[in-house]
Structure 1
Amino acid sequence: MPSWKFHSPPPATWQRCDSGILPMWWDRLCAQTGQQSAALYAAGLFTDDRRRPIAQWFNAAFNAALLVAPETSPEWPVQRFGIFYAPPASGFVRVYSAPHEWHPREPRKYPTEQDAFRAAIAEAERFLQVEMDFV
């Protein structure tokens, strides 16, 4: 059984909110890279808010967030979920992790999109647990 199936939920201060991408992602990325570069980042993820599924956590006390979302262009033969972190107060970083990939041209072949998404969520939740030790 994959190790991502056994994990603890994220700390209570991190609330899940998947309805739409938080505006803070765009604001922080623009501040760090400029508006033109931000528009191209992760295949336009932060300009279009059209790509699903996403998983997102927000910590209002620290003004921090974590996002799991597709980071590759839809036409690529291999799709990948990325994990993005907005640390307390300011900044924007991509969390480097195991590749959470799937092949859309072979939708029933393991790992499927759902398998990759679940694994990325599990890794993101582990990141939140570790991050709370440093905040």
Structure 2
Amino acid sequence: MSAWRPYDNQLIPAFYERFEKRWGKGTAPFLDPETHEQPMPRAQWINPDTGAAVAVVPIWTEDPQHRSFGVFYLPPAGDIWILRPGYTNYIETDPRNTEQTTLRNDAFRKAVAHAKEFIYGTQP
């Protein structure tokens, strides 16, 4: 049985700390949609046995219409890894637009599936 568990609270602070340690101070605020007061999906898992964590978070670009989801892994010994789920970009012109919401949700599902495969392995 896997020790990995979903974590449904705010983004684990270690994601900010390790991200900024690796890519520079001030580079991490995009990780948390609450910072931008935008209701965007996010998923996290923790492994209490090892201290590792995985997060799927929206990635904000300078152009607010071009967004994507990133998958990040925090190994127990420190650092932060980017897990590559493939293309998860989408264009958001109007959050009330059903088609745009579908594209966002499809990109999110793809990133979450990649994270789960990393955590649990491939499922039959």
TM-score (ref. length: structure 2): 0.76
Unaligned ranges ≥5, structure 2: none
Write out the 4+ residue segments of structure 1 that deviate beyond 6 Å after TM superposition: none
After superposition, the CA RMSD in angstroms is: 2.5
User: Amino acid of the residue matched to residue 103 of structure 2?
Assistant: T
Unaligned ranges ≥5, structure 1: 1-10, 131-135
> Which residue in 2 is equivalent to 1:56?
44
Residues 83-92 or 21-30, more deviating: 21-30
**Pair 59,49 (structure 1): closer, same or farther in 2 beyond 3 Å:** farther
Among the aligned pairs, what percent are the same residue? 24
> Which residue in 2 is equivalent to 1:19?
9
**Pair 126,116 (structure 1): closer, same or farther in 2 beyond 3 Å:** same
* Contact 1:17/1:56, CA 8 A, preserved across alignment: yes
Q: How many residues are matched? A: 115
1:75-86 alignment, distance < 5 Å: 75-86=63-74
Query: Larger relative contact order (C-alpha < 8 A, sep ≥ 6)?
Result: 1
From 110, 116, 124, the equivalent of 1:125 is: 116
TM-score (ref. length: structure 1): 0.71
Report the Cα offset of residue 76 of structure 1. Answer: 3.3
Report the Cα offset of residue 40 of structure 1. Answer: 1.6
Deviations along 1:4-35, one digit per CA (max 9) or x if unpaired, are xxxxxxx63111112200111123234444xx
